[in-house]
Each structure stands twice: as C-alpha cells, then as structure tokens.
C-alpha cells in the first residue's frame, strides 16, 4: 500500500488526548483572567490558545472514536454552561416581572414598567463554555 | 463491558501503542477499552475480533447475555 501522508498515525490520534490537557489549562487561565485581570497581551495569548485548541478539538477528523466520545461529553458540559445561566436569568426575570407588575397594580405607575433588562456577560459565558468543554472531556476520561 | 483485550495483547507481546497502530485508534483508546472506561463501537469491535481471529463474544463479555 502506498504511503499516504494524510492518513493520521497513532501519534496524531494520541496528540488529541495530549491537547485536551493543554486546552484545559489554557481555558482555566482564560476563565480566571475574567476575575483576576491580567495584561492585555496575556489575555490575547490565552484567548488565541483556547480558541484555536478548541476549534481543533471540535472540528478535526484526525482523532479516534474514543476522543469523539469524550468530545460529546465536553459539548454537553459546554452547552450546560450556557443554558444554566440563561435559565437562572429567565427565572430571576419572572420574579422581577412579578415585582414590577405588583408595583404597577399597587401604584398604577406605568412608568415603572420598562421591560426586563437581562444583562448576561457574553464574555464570561464564552469563557465558562470553553472551560466547561474541557472539564467535561477531562472528567469523562478520568472517571472510572 | 469486560473484555480480555489486555490478555490477547500480552499474548502477542504488543504494547498499547502497537495495538492502537493496528486498529487505527489512539493508545489512550486502547487503555480506555482495557480498563472498561470505554466500550468500542461495533465497527471497532469487529476490527479487534478480526485482528485477533476470534469472535466478538470471545473478547467482550456482555454482562447481560445470560438474562
């Protein structure tokens, strides 16, 4: 059989499993940089590392079925990291809406009803999703 | 799912990386299968069975086969 340089080798496939630890560390520091600000240059390096490793992890087809299985778990965790804050915000907004409706009925002051403003920090959510992806991958790979 | 992949591999004196090379998967995948952390897909299970010239049932032990 002729040598085909495109066919991934065992080393290529194993590299994905090495990459998950690098991605986990990068996404961890990327997330913590939200709470403990670092220099702009470091932030950009962390952002570039996290996003490029994540893109490789998600879209590369040079890995094996075991990694794809771990990746599915990571995707579930990442989605949960996005959905849970949205759900909490939605529940809080219902409470806020009830308060404002109650206030309106009590005071008949319509100017108090100015819509529910839900401010979810998109950057934090993105950082949490990146970290959650790798947390899910690592958790599943280490779980007995 | 329990399996005797480790025994079969040892009989051929292969490392996990060598077996992984034969099956086109990563060394970590072999380790995960051997330790029962990951159940291989049906195509991979057939590939393993063909490599060791055994039936799938001889390599993989389905705990629920009796009931």
Listed by start position, the domains of chain A span 10-142
Gap between the Cα atoms of A14 and B43, Å rounded: 20
Contacts of B44 in chain A (CB under 8 A): 65
pLDDT confidence bin for B65, thresholds 50/70/90: low
Q: Least CB-CB distance to B28: which of A9, A14, A144?
A: A14
Q: Do A144 and B37 touch (CB under 8 A)?
A: yes
Does position B64 have pLDDT exceeding 70, yes or no? no
For CA atoms B53, B56, B58, B61, the dihedral sign is positive
Q: What is the pLDDT of residues A66-112, one digit of tens each?
A: 999 999 999 999 999 999 888 887 887 777 766 766 776 677 655 54
Q: Least CB-CB distance to A14: which of B24, B27, B41?
A: B27
Q: Least CB-CB distance to B27: which of A10, A69, A144?
A: A10
> What does the CA dihedral A98, A100, A102, A106 come to, rounded to 10 degrees?
180
pLDDT, residue A130, reads: 94
Gyration radius of chain B's alpha carbons: 11
Task: Give rounded-to-5 percent helix, strand, coil for chain B.
Answer: 55, 5, 40
Q: Which of A7, A8, A9, A10 has the most B C-beta neighbours within 10 Å, making it the best mutation to test the interface with B? A: A10
- Among chain A residues, the shortest Cα distance to B45 is held by A65
pTM, two decimals, is 0.79
Contacts of B14 in chain A (CB under 8 A): none
Counted residue by residue, chain A has a size of: 144
Contacts of B28 in chain A (CB under 8 A): 14, 17, 66-67, 141
Q: Extract the tokens encoding B64.
A: 């629920």
Q: What is the pLDDT of residues B13-48, one digit of tens each?
A: 999 999 999 998 999 999 999 998 999 999 999 999
Contacts of B19 in chain A (CB under 8 A): none
């Amino acid at each position: 059989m002729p040598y085909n340089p495109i066919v991934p080798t065992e080393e290529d496939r194993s590299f994905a499993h090495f990459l998950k630890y690098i991605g986990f560390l990068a996404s961890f520091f990327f997330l913590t940089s939200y709470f403990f600000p670092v220099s702009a240059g470091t932030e950009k390096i962390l952002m570039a590392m996290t996003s490029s490793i994540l893109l490789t992890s998600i879209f590369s087809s040079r890995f094996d079925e075991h990694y794809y299985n771990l990746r599915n778990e990571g995707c579930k965790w990442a989605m949960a990291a996005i959905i849970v804050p949205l759900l909490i915000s939605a529940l809080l907004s219902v409470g806020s809406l009830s308060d404002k409706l109650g206030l309106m009925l009590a005071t008949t002051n319509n100017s108090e009803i100015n819509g529910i403003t839900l401010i979810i920090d998109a950057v934090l959510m993105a950082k949490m999703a990146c970290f959650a992806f790798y947390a899910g991958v690592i958790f599943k790979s280490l779980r007995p | 799912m329990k399996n005797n992949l480790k025994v079969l591999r040892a009989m051929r004196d292969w490392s996990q990386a060598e077996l992984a090379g034969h099956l086109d998967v990563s060394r970590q995948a072999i380790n995960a299968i051997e330790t029962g952390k990951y159940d291989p897909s049906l195509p991979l299970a057939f590939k393993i069975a063909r490599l060791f010239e055994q039936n799938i049932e001889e390599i993989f032990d389905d705990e629920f086969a009796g009931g």
